[in-house]
Chain A
Amino acid sequence: MQGMMTVFWKELADDFTSKRFVILFLVVLLAVGFAIFISVQAIDALKEAVTTGTHFVFLMLFVPPIDLPFFMRFIFFIAFLVPLIGIALGFDAINGEKSSGTLSRLLAQPIYRDSVINGKFLAGVVTIAIMLTSIVLLVSGIGLNIIGVAPTAEEVLRLMAFIAIGTVYGAFWLGLAMLFSIFFQRVATSALASIGVWIFFFFYVLMFAGIIASFVAPVGETQLSQLQNAEVQIMLMRLSPIQLFEESATFVLGPEAITKMQYLQLQAQAASKFFTPAPLSFGQSLMIVWPHLVSLVALTVICFAISYAKFMREEIRST
């Protein structure tokens, strides 16, 4: 435990003082600027929402009630960005120490071997959580200035849930990057492998889901066949952690905006059976999100467990 906390504090300090962090922080600022930009675009819709007294006006800063192409949505941007942070924090966790010659010295200290990866993983997760929190706080602060409406207690809860989901999502990518950093000897290889998986989930899963779905449940004349096709497609897409995050973040942040967002038309169709025109309560939103969250945690645990098993059994060799 002592060993793990020592590694944790050292890694956390590293994460926050490295040049890498400066770059990531710039990316964070980019995300904030992006969200604010979109809010300003949607300022009329926001004003209207304020005057009509709609629920969750504050959340609309994050999910504006206007039609936007998918790549201009805040949640998509976060879904895209968080993997980058996770990978950047983890891709050289173990092989970086190996190539700098510090790993063998580290393991020669009287600590359990798992302290090293546990401490590193924990430090990465905390860094991701801090980054997400600062994104949310910055957008909230600036947004508060723009719309002048304070968040309600439920909105604060929802934002916290969003940070939590984002952190789990980031933890998955961190775990994956660390996994590759254990399996590959070279830092460049592990970085490329992580980025490869990222790209695969981002583009290919969506593509393949469409193709496979049209084989399994071809779209016919009937509405039923369209719905079946959509369901198959979404089921396949949910294999991707990106999809899991996007859906759950959308459910948490946009309890009423979701139908308006035309978030992948198909998905809206399939999801419409969940939604009634009235916004869902926080508890019900969580209920919907729960399986997604469990899947994300499971994926993270799988990555970490494989890393753990491999690292514990790995031999320090003379090379």
Chain B
Amino acid sequence: MSKEPVIEAIELTKTYNGLKAVDKLNLRIEEGEIFGFLGPNGSGKTTSILMMLGLTEPTSGTARVCGYNSTREPLKVKNLAGYIPENVGFYDDLTTGYNLAYMARLSDIPEGVIKQRIEEVLDTVGLKGMAYRKVGEFSRGMRQRLAIADVLMRMPKVAFLDEPTAGIDPRGIRQTLDLIARIAKENKMTIIMSSHQLAQVQRICTHVGIMQKGKMVVQGLISQLGREFLGGGRFKIEVRLAGVAAAILEAIKQVKGVVKVDRPEENLLVISSRDDVRSQIAKVIVDNNGLLEQMNVVSYALEDIYMKYSVED
């Protein structure tokens, strides 16, 4: 217990008509973390977020944001937390600037600051000069970025992003995620992000938690998860050779960091390792007169971890 966690959930439970949507969720997120909240549809991610924000009352258990109880002091929590709901919506008939200003006024930002802030945040999210455009004209990706701008207006300490990458194209996803990562870093903002885009989550999140039927089944640092739960190294290297000699196989096994070598095909080796040992492997192959055709590194995808846990029905 080095420092106070920014977000804390203790035995958080929510029951809808006898069905447990969230079952004794325990969570601890510290300042500056980007927490990836994973899990299939209906696993309770959104409900958990809503309870932490104080928008939904938990059946039992407590949620705290920066030390404030989300159920008892929702206004204080809302003051500190920004939220982008799933399928974020704006007033389509109104301009971008008005949309941002309205929410800002509700959070009591002084009128003088609002105007200047709007320009700033639109610039940050790459919507510069759009303040007088109607939101109805925006594409899905632009809306998502506008939602981030909306959160930035208040510069919250914590941001809850529910599926921020749903329904946008690959380029848009990349832009959105880079933006989130940059903002988190620049402003020391703690971010909780739920998503299905596993590869993307892996790219920007420092921590992940996987939910399954209302329960958190795995939780921790991404780099640790690979090792702990797959019983192997974090990296997977695929090597294709023109003929595999026994000597090469042996030599590769000797390379420092290599955990396991599989041979699923005649000329294909799949090597698990703790580190990226491509250059050493290449050297070993060449030293043993092997003909290297192709070599790929596949870092252990979060997908593997995810699949492993979501199969267990």
List residues of chain A with CB under 8 Å of any chain B CB: 2-3, 6-7, 10, 14, 17-18, 100-102, 104-112, 315-318
Contact call A101/B106, Cβ cutoff below 8 A: no
Contacts of B219 in A (CB 8 A): none
Contacts of A108 in B (CB 8 A): 53, 55, 78, 81-83, 85
Contact call A105/B102, Cβ cutoff below 8 A: no
Contact call B56/A101, Cβ cutoff below 8 A: no
Contacts of B4 in A (CB 8 A): none
Chain B interface mostly helix, strand, loop or mixed?
mixed
- State the CA gap A263–B207 with chains docked (Å): 76
Q: Which of A3, A100, A109 contacts B89 (CB 8 A)?
A: A100
- Over the window 76-87 of chain B, the binary record of Cβ atoms lying under 8 Å from chain A Cβ atoms (1 yes, 0 no) is 101101111111
B interface residues, tally (CB under 8 Å):
33
CB nearest neighbor in B for A4: B106
Q: Which of A101, A105, A111 contacts B83 (CB 8 A)?
A: A105
Contact call A109/B56, Cβ cutoff below 8 A: no
In this assembly, does B190 line the interface, its C-beta being within 8 Å of a C-beta of chain A?
no
Contacts of B150 in A (CB 8 A): 105
Contact call B55/A110, Cβ cutoff below 8 A: no
Contact call A109/B106, Cβ cutoff below 8 A: yes
* A102 touching B106 in the complex, CB below 8 Å, given contacts A108-B55, A316-B50, A318-B86: no
Contacts of B107 in A (CB 8 A): 109-110
Contacts of B89 in A (CB 8 A): 100-102, 105
A-B contact pairs, 15 of them (CB 8 A): A6-B105, A17-B93, A102-B91, A104-B85, A105-B83, A105-B85, A105-B88, A109-B103, A110-B76, A110-B78, A110-B79, A112-B75, A315-B57, A316-B50, A318-B46
CB distance from A112 to the nearest CB of B (A): 7
In this assembly, does B309 line the interface, its C-beta being within 8 Å of a C-beta of chain A?
no
Q: Which of B55, B79, B106 contacts A104 (CB 8 A)?
A: B55
Q: Which of B46, B75, B93 contacts A110 (CB 8 A)?
A: B75
Contacts of A7 in B (CB 8 A): 106
Contacts of B45 in A (CB 8 A): 318
* A18 touching B83 in the complex, CB below 8 Å, given contacts A110-B107, A111-B106: no
Contacts of B91 in A (CB 8 A): 14, 100, 102
Considering only residues 57-88 of chain B, those with a C-beta below 8 Å from chain A are 57, 75-76, 78-79, 81-88
Contact call A106/B55, Cβ cutoff below 8 A: no
In this assembly, does B47 line the interface, its C-beta being within 8 Å of a C-beta of chain A?
yes
Which 9 pairs between the two chains have the least Cβ-Cβ distance? A101-B89, A318-B46, A108-B83, A109-B106, A110-B78, A104-B85, A110-B79, A100-B89, A316-B55
